[in-house]
Amino acid sequence: MNSMETIRLGCGAGFSSDRLGPAIDLAQRGALDYLVFECIGERTMAFGHRDRMLDSTRGYNPQLRARMRGVLAHCHANGTKIVTNMGVANPRAAALLVIEIARELGLTGLKVACVEGDDVTHLIGPDTEFMDHPGAVKDVGLRMVGANVYLGVEALLPALQAGADVVIAGRIADPALFLSPLVHRFGWALDDWTALGRGTLAGHLMECGMQITGGYFADPGFKDVPRLADCGFPIAEVSADGSFVITKLDDTGGCVTPATVKEQLLYEVHDPAAYLTPDVTANFRGVSVTQVGPDRVRLTGADGSVRPEKLKVTIGFDGGFLGEGGVSYAGPNARARAELAANVVRERLTRINQLGGDLRIDLVGLNALHQTAETPVSDAADIRLHVALRSTDRDDIDTMLWEVESLLCCGPAGGGGYRGQVTPCVVTHSCLIARDQVSPTFEMFVA
C-alpha cells in the first residue's frame, strides 16, 4: 500500500461486558479499516471453558450475538473487517454463530475465519510447573478446567491473508489483535522489532477501549471528563512507520489528552522497557505523547527487540463458589453495631458451625477495599457488613448466607437490607511452554 496511507483501527470492546452502543457508532460512522473486540480476561477465559463443558455449542463470549447483530451489516457496508477473541473457549461455535447471523442479515458471501490452537489443555499435566511462583499443577488440589496459550500475530495473519471479513479467535495476546492487521496491511516483517514494538504500543493503548478516551479517568475537580455518559470508543490512525494518532468520533463524549494516554500507557505494564508479548519485547520508555488537535494525541518513539523465547499459558481451575452476604447499619453508634455484627458472624461461622474455606468480613463505609492497607480514621454513619466466603462446598456457602440473614432478628439493633448471592469461581495460574509445541490453524466459513 501507499506509504503515506494510514490504517484506521477502532476498538469495539475493551472487556467482555463492555458497552455495545459506542461500538455500533464506530461501525457506522468510524470509516474504519478494522474494528477489534477484545473480550477475554483471566476470569472470563476460565468461564468459557466451564460453559463449554456444560454445553458443547457454548463457551464463546455471551454478548457475541448482540454485538454481531449490532455491527455486522455496518461493517459489511463500510468495508470494515472485524478481528476479535470473542471465540473464548470455542472459536468454532462462535464462527458458526456469526455465519448464522450473517445469513439472517442477508450478508451472503461473508467470510468468517475461526482461529484455533490456543487450547493447550492436553499439554498440561500434574507436574507442569508455574512460572511466577513455586509449585506445580498437582499442588493446587482443584480440578483443571482448561489451559490456553497466548498466541500472537502468526496465528491471525493467515486468516487475514486469506481475505476473512471476520476473524474470530480465542486466547490471543490483546495487542496482537490490533498488531495483526497492521502487519498484514503494511507488510511488516515478523522480525522488524521496531515496527512490531510500535504497533504493539498502538494495540496496548487501544485494547481497553474507553480507558484511553476518558473512561476510568474522571476525578471531579481534578480530572474532569466531558459527557462521560456518552463516552466514545477510541480510533487509532496508524502510519506505515508505526507512529499513530489516538482519537475518537467528534460528537461523542469523553476526551483524548496526554493524561488519558499516559495513564493507559503503563496500565498492567511492569518494566516499561520490556513489555513482553508473543510477538516482540516492546519498549515504551522513549515514547513521546503530543496533543496535535482536539481529542487527538500523537505517539512516536516506541521501539522493540527480539520476542520472548517461550509462550505464556493461563491454566484455569474450578475454584468452587464465592458467597457474599450483607446487612446495613446506619445512624448513631452505627460503627459499634456493625462491628458487633461482624464479631457475631465470625463466632457463629467458625466456633459454632466450624466452617472451612476462606472467610473475610468487611465494613463497607468504614474500611473495606483498603482494610488490609490502613486503619480507619473516622467513624461513618452508614455502614454495611459484607461477609465473603470462598469454598468448594456449596453447603458451607449456604450456611454462611443463612447466618448473615439471621442477623435481622438475632444480631445488633437496627440492622436491615439483607442481600446474599453466590457466584461460581475459578482460580488461575500461569506457566511457560516452548513455541514449537503450538501450531495454530484457521478454517474459513462462508455465509
The residues in 123-142 that bind another protein, with binding defined as CB under 8 A, are 132-133
Q: What is the 3-state secondary structure (H, E, C) of 324-376?
A: EEEEEEECCCHHHHHHHHHHHHHHHHHHHCCCCCEEEEEEECCECCCCCCCCC
Provide the β-strand partners of residue 37.
13, 84
What residue type is 324 in one-letter code? E
Least CB distance from residue 401 to another protein, whole Å?
Answer: 15
User: Where are any strands of DSSP class E within 143-221?
Assistant: 144-149, 166-168
- C-alpha grid cell for residue 139? 499442588
Among 54, 189, 352, 373, binds another protein (CB under 8 A): 373
Pick the closest to residue 292 from 259, 256, 264 (CA basis).
Answer: 256
Among 3, 108, 270, 292, binds another protein (CB under 8 A): 270
Among 17, 21, 43, 439, binds another protein (CB under 8 A): 43
Pick the closest to residue 415 from 339, 343, 337, 349 (CA basis).
Answer: 337
319 near another protein, judged by CB under 8 A: yes
430 near another protein, judged by CB under 8 A: yes
Of 221 and 332, the one with the shorter C-beta distance to another protein is 221
Of 377 and 409, the one with the shorter C-beta distance to another protein is 377
Among 93, 97, 386, 401, binds another protein (CB under 8 A): 386
Of 289 and 444, the one with the shorter C-beta distance to another protein is 289
Pick the closest to residue 112 from 165, 73, 154 (CA basis).
Answer: 165
Burial of 369 (0-12, 13-18, 19+ CB in 10 A): exposed
Least CB distance from residue 33 to another protein, whole Å?
Answer: 29
Q: Compute the chain's Rg from CA coordinates.
A: 24
Query: How many amino acids of this chain bind another protein (CB under 8 A)?
Result: 50
DSSP H or E run through 27: helix 21-29
165 near another protein, judged by CB under 8 A: no
Among 24, 190, 228, 289, binds another protein (CB under 8 A): 289
DSSP H or E run through 203: helix 193-206
Segment near another protein (CB under 8 A); pick from 25-33, 100-108, 364-372, 408-416: 364-372
143 near another protein, judged by CB under 8 A: no
Residue 429 to residues 54, 59, 85, 161, 397, Cα–Cα distance (Å): 22, 20, 20, 34, 24
Among 2, 3, 109, 222, binds another protein (CB under 8 A): 222
Burial of 263 (0-12, 13-18, 19+ CB in 10 A): middle
427 near another protein, judged by CB under 8 A: yes
Binding mask 170-209 for another protein (x = CB under 8 A): ----------------------------------------
Of 53 and 96, the one with the shorter C-beta distance to another protein is 53
267 near another protein, judged by CB under 8 A: yes
Segment near another protein (CB under 8 A); pick from 112-120, 235-243, 260-268, 431-439: 260-268
- C-alpha grid cell for residue 252? 461523542
Measured from the Cβ of residue 42, the count of other Cβ atoms closer than 10 Å reads: 14
Residues near another protein (CB under 8 A) are 42-43, 46, 132-133, 216, 219, 222-223, 259, 262-273, 285-289, 319, 322, 358-360, 362, 364, 368-374, 386, 388-390, 425-428, 430
